[in-house]
Amino acid sequence: MRKLFGTDGVRGTANIHPMTADMALRIGAAVGRYFRREAGGVHRVVIGKDTRLSGYMFENALTAGLTSTGMNVLLLGPVPTPAVGLMTRSMRADLGVMISASHNPAKDNGIKFFGPDGFKLSDQAELEIEALIEAGVEPAQAQHIGHAKRIDDARFRYGERVKSSLPRGIRLDGLKVVLDCANGAAHRTAPEVLWELGAEVVPLGVSPDGHNINLGCGSTQPQTAAEAVVAHGADVGICLDGDADRVIMIDESGTVADGDQLMALLAGRWAKAGTLTGNALVATVMSNLGLERHLAGQGLHLERTAVGDRYVVERMRAGGFNLGGEQSGHIVMSDHATTGDGLMAGLHMLAAMVETGRPASELLSQFDPVPQLLKNVRFTLGQTPLEATPVQAVIRTAEATLEGKGRLLIRESGTEPLIRVMAECEDEALLTATVAEVAAAVQSATS
């Protein structure tokens, strides 16, 4: 079992274990040693970050740990997470690091790792790195210490790659787009890319101060953007999260559409064009049952994985699929990117509007979702509420109640100390009662 790594790297509150400068230094040294197993040769790592104040602290600590083992560090500055995957490959680096807690508040931070192929590390690799952290790492001899250098054009390189994913000749002239960048990593790149393609951009969340990332804005809080779409008479809204690896769309009426609707749209378009490999979409167990039924009606298959875009990508690579994602808005288009890319997915939605001439409200209502309810129960680290006998008994009863009518999914978050209780059922009264009972049992076990 991994102790430090969750579903998306190491994450926590800044200056509280494990997200301390000391631990970041140790992590940097361990991961540097892991990827620099043989002496000699040139070994390099790229590091990107979002706009959190603590990013400076972790950037310096990781750089110290990595250079102490002989790794040369290339500092990208504030860039989206998918840019790190791209730059790791394009710069022939041994390792990519993204300092971000994604959609979490500014007080949190995290460290995500990408291998030389630009994809996130496997569970096995993370276990081996944890073993190195615990054992300690012998530093390199003085003459082999690595150096650090800043790369000034990373966001421009990324922007060009995102634009190149669109069909040749596509322009966004005439489209008014509300773009919420969550005061995060894409606050400069995303507006520039849309403007360069011809869109009229109404920017929101583009003034980061180190403390306001995801604060009242972004993909987890799209209400402000929805209001702006209506107020400005915009055609569509795009809401990114703090590191821009996920997106939530808003139609011209201010209605919010999640990742399931966007994946349904892209899967259908790609299938008709003959470019959807395996006639399948890869999504997690959280995706709505309505999406699965919609795809089946088109002769397409839904491949489900555990929660986490890393597991979606692993299944895509194993099965040769090229489209996947999460209800939360991670959309992975592996023909163009190695991880979820919110800006890229948003651009492909805009391209669909241009090519079809249809409004966002039509394109983002691909299916009627089965009623779904999610409740989060916070617990103290070290507790194991799901192992409590009363909780397990309530869960068994709930599963029996929903059998043949819906489904129940209960899991521990891999990024926060939360138990997520989710259910789907056509009977909304039964749905509400079931989720409430299970959540109450879990809450009692945390007291």
Q: Is 102 a catalytic residue?
A: yes
- Which residues, 6 or more positions from 16, have their beta carbon under 8 angstroms from its beta carbon? none
How many other CB atoms are found less than 10 A from the CB of residue 377? 20
Burial of residue 277, with CB atoms counted within 10 A of its CB: 0-12 exposed, 13-18 middle, 19 or more buried: middle
Nearest CA to 260 among 270, 247, 251?
Answer: 247
**3-class SS letters over the chain:** CCCCCECCEEEEECCECCECHHHHHHHHHHHHHHHCCCCCCCCEEEEEECCCCHHHHHHHHHHHHHHHCCCEEEEEEECCHHHHHHHHHHCCCCEEEEECCCCCCCCEEEEEEECCCCCECCHHHHHHHHHHHHHCCCCCCHHHCCCEEECCCHHHHHHHHHHHCCCCCCCCCCCEEEEECCCCCCCCHHHHHHHHCCCEEEEECCCCCCCCCCCCCCCCCCHHHHHHHHHHCCCEEEEECCCCCCEEEECCCCCEECHHHHHHHHHHHHHHHCCCHHHEEEEECCCCHHHHHHHHHCCCEEEEECCCHHHHHHHHHHHCCCEEECCCCCEEECCCCCCCCHHHHHHHHHHHHHHHCCCHHHHCCCCCCCCEEEEEEECCCCCCHHHCHHHHHHHHHHHHHHCCCEEEEEEECCCCCEEEEEEEECCHHHHHHHHHHHHHHHHHHHC
Length of the chain in residues, anyone? 447
Pairing of strands 95-99, 44-49: parallel
Exactly one of 54, 68, 100, 102 is catalytic; which is it? Answer: 102
* 278 and 318 Cβ atoms separated by less than 8 Å: no
- Which residues, 6 or more positions from 283, have their beta carbon under 8 angstroms from its beta carbon? 260, 263, 291, 302, 303, 304, 305, 312, 324, 325, 326, 327
* Residues marked as catalytic: 102
